A and B are shown apart, each in its own frame.
Chain A
């Protein structure tokens, strides 16, 4: 058998693939990273939109980049810096009464709002952040094994229990009462202002197949609030140079760690020999061998398409084929020949997040359409103007606008397929209502529905998280029972993408956990090459 020239192959060059490759390279492995498209970065990349305009193709905010990734890979030395942290969120109002949640998760409310609401919000915000803080470690570490677990597994569980206990008696009861609630019920109990309720509910459901009244929609908010930016919990940030700066820093770190990066190298299959991963075969037919293969691609794609069901047990195949992964977020990127004409917004507001959701009920109504396979009539939008933070993204005086629009269901009713253009038009109509005249300034655009995201990025269902974030697909059940430890039944094959715990968002946490598993397995087998 010829000696493999690589110790490990990482499949997929999104941020998790890059992070995994860089971490493995740092640990002394000779690593090859394979990316199917012509650039790395996946859903976190920044792309050209029109001559002189660059825009974050899909992910447009940093709110959960794992501090260990930044530290271990020394991303700051590799060029990562934040242009703006603690971005504000402004709930736009067609009646000219915008409400701004300034600081991390509305530390301060700016706008015309009753004092009683301010007090109620301060109490609720504090509670939600405390509770999310308890879950935060659990949402970062390797999920514990309940069967055949070791000391570390018990510690993880114990620490969660201890964290809940440490909340004190009243808060602990409140935490346990609330943890499986939906965000609408939580808000019904605590706050009344429609703009505020809409802003919080939007954050809970964005990127999921949930409406505010869907079960568990508080858990997805906790997931979001457990993140941090630049050391501040629940904060949102813009890297200098846009989201692409994270990918650029990760690439630089990977290269510095000796990782070989190949783009335009789609993996057609993963080689399995004697029940072990032995390398990959590219779409070109080229065979590359390595004793460790780490896939940042979707778990179901990795195992069912690249490995193949015949190397797996039926029960596992059944679970993988049942993973719910249907995206709901469409992305509209615009190049403007002037500033976006949002009324009454100062430069700081423009640099933050802008939401257009008149009320929680409006989001629920928008979700109803998605539930029945149609695009929402009145989409709710999360708008950022990346060029407001980083002018280099557009020619002087001009701007790029990046919009997440919900709901755009992946699975459409047959007669709704044609609704794609209509949905885009409705997004633009909503935009026009809040920024009159913006339509006339568009000089370039890119519109992506979940189906487009699936096609372009090989993400099943175009789902941000490579699998719905819901209790039955989280923690020890992510991506499915039996795969939560990042290892697969095929020895030497690991999962290191967002489909694994904790999930999506530009965090690098799945890669971090997967690499710790790979290195621990390597140590257990004695010697790094494990031949």
Chain B
């Protein structure tokens, strides 16, 4: 049978995720945005309530638009090991690696999470689309690559009561799931793959099901979560939480190499705080290894990423960073007043040696719009450790009940 030719595409330029009916029902502000071609909530009811759900209760965020690739075959591990900067042979089945991958010049294409679902099967989750790169990387490997974004519905359940929600929803044995573990659970909503991962720096889980089970899963969590103050959230709340956790985002804190029109905007992992991922000692080649080894040997990093604690309480979004108040040495990539740590925090991309060996006497120029007039203030900024917020509950196993 011939399918009808598309004609009403313009009416819905963004796709609906499998969870859309539930989110749309809760949505009061119609604050949507486009994420990877999907309609996603920016704010559902109240940004602050949603943020505090992450830190004080349980938040439910639809991460179905996250780009997902299935990598399977006898050479899958060798393939992933050559693709990414970490040692994939150290990643056991049932575990997740936070990782990054680079082009030939050692510039970051994206960061993401690599799930080893089985000895010969991986799932790569990330922000950007990379299929041509992944397919060309498969030349010489016995491996199959497929984008499975549409085939997998995903929810991120984050916050101190997230464990209690899953326990009450019937995820038997969830208490033994350690950070970066993956396991499948039989539930009233069918089989659910759960990983103890997230983008909030808090106790939390990510749940994956086929789209047909999506609404059952939502309802299962929603009902079990009522006593635990489960709250559906939009990206605005998550963005604040991820900043507190010190996580970087492609497109915000760095420009993915394939998107950079200006060659000097590309960054190596060392230049965006991901140097710790780069396993130069793995005895096998990986993409960008030679360039990264040379960069490291020559200490040739031109930039660095730092966490800043800035005086006052005005978020320093898009501000420039100065040394001694005069010389421009970097710019803020993300900034906010942190409700949890009660500090004015920011991430900044700095030009070395500033931020690396020259760390004192840094100033941030903040422009704040006050009734149609910009007030400019030059305030002190101090380099601090990342993450800004790292609660013990994040990694405690078994997790606490709050």
* List of B residues within 8 angstroms of A308 by Cβ: 140
> Does B136 contact A312, Cβ atoms closer than 8 Å?
no
Out of B78, B141, B285, B288, name the residue touching A275 (CB < 8 Å): B285
What's the dominant secondary structure at chain B's contact region? Answer: loop
Out of B82, B103, B136, name the residue touching A310 (CB < 8 Å): B82
Residue B139 CB within 8 A of the other chain: yes
* List of A residues within 8 angstroms of B219 by Cβ: none
Out of A312, A315, A318, A321, name the residue touching B285 (CB < 8 Å): A312
> Does A314 contact B78, Cβ atoms closer than 8 Å?
no
Residue A324 CB within 8 A of the other chain: no
Out of A315, A317, A482, A489, name the residue touching B140 (CB < 8 Å): A317
Q: Mark A367-389, 1 if CB is under 8 A from B, else 0.
A: 00000000000000000000000
Interface centre among A312, A321, A482 (most CB of B within 10 A): A312
Residue B46 CB within 8 A of the other chain: no
* List of A residues within 8 angstroms of B284 by Cβ: 310
- From residue 77 to 92 of chain B, which have CB atoms closer than 8 A to chain A? 78, 82-83
Q: A310-B82, A314-B133, A314-B287 are in contact. Are A304 and B104 (CB under 8 A)?
A: no
> Does A275 contact B104, Cβ atoms closer than 8 Å?
no
Q: A314-B103, A316-B104 are in contact. Are A304 and B140 (CB under 8 A)?
A: yes
Out of B78, B139, B288, B290, name the residue touching A317 (CB < 8 Å): B139
Docked Cα-Cα span, A308 to B75, in Å, equals 14
Please, which residue of chain A has its CB at the minimum distance from the CB of B283? A274
What's the dominant secondary structure at chain A's contact region? Answer: helix
Residue A415 CB within 8 A of the other chain: no
- From residue 481 to 510 of chain A, which have CB atoms closer than 8 A to chain B? 482, 489
> Does B104 contact A321, Cβ atoms closer than 8 Å?
no
Interface centre among A304, A311, A312, A314 (most CB of B within 10 A): A314
* List of A residues within 8 angstroms of B390 by Cβ: none
Q: A275-B290, A318-B136 are in contact. Are A311 and B104 (CB under 8 A)?
A: no
> Does A309 contact B133, Cβ atoms closer than 8 Å?
no
* List of B residues within 8 angstroms of A188 by Cβ: none
Residue A421 CB within 8 A of the other chain: no
> Does B136 contact A311, Cβ atoms closer than 8 Å?
no
* List of A residues within 8 angstroms of B141 by Cβ: 309-310
- From residue 238 to 276 of chain B, which have CB atoms closer than 8 A to chain A? none
- From residue 286 to 335 of chain A, which have CB atoms closer than 8 A to chain B? 304, 308-318, 321
- From residue 26 to 85 of chain B, which have CB atoms closer than 8 A to chain A? 78, 82-83
- From residue 242 to 276 of chain A, which have CB atoms closer than 8 A to chain B? 275
B100 to chain A, nearest CB (A): 14
A145 to chain B, nearest CB (A): 15
Q: A309-B140, A310-B285 are in contact. Are A315 and B104 (CB under 8 A)?
A: yes
Residue B137 CB within 8 A of the other chain: yes
Please, which residue of chain B has its CB at the minimum distance from the CB of A315? B104
B366 to chain A, nearest CB (A): 39
> Does A314 contact B136, Cβ atoms closer than 8 Å?
yes
* List of B residues within 8 angstroms of A321 by Cβ: 136, 139
10 A-B interface contacts by CB (under 8 A): A304-B139, A309-B139, A313-B288, A314-B83, A314-B103, A315-B104, A317-B137, A318-B139, A321-B136, A489-B290
Q: Which residues of A contact B (CB under 8 A)?
A: 275, 304, 308-318, 321, 482, 489
Taking A312-B285, A313-B287 as given, write out 4 further A-B residue pairs in contact, using a Cβ cutoff of 8 Å, ordered by the A residue number. A310-B284, A314-B83, A321-B136, A321-B139
Among all A-B residue pairs, the 4 with the closest Cβ atoms: A309-B140, A313-B104, A315-B104, A314-B137
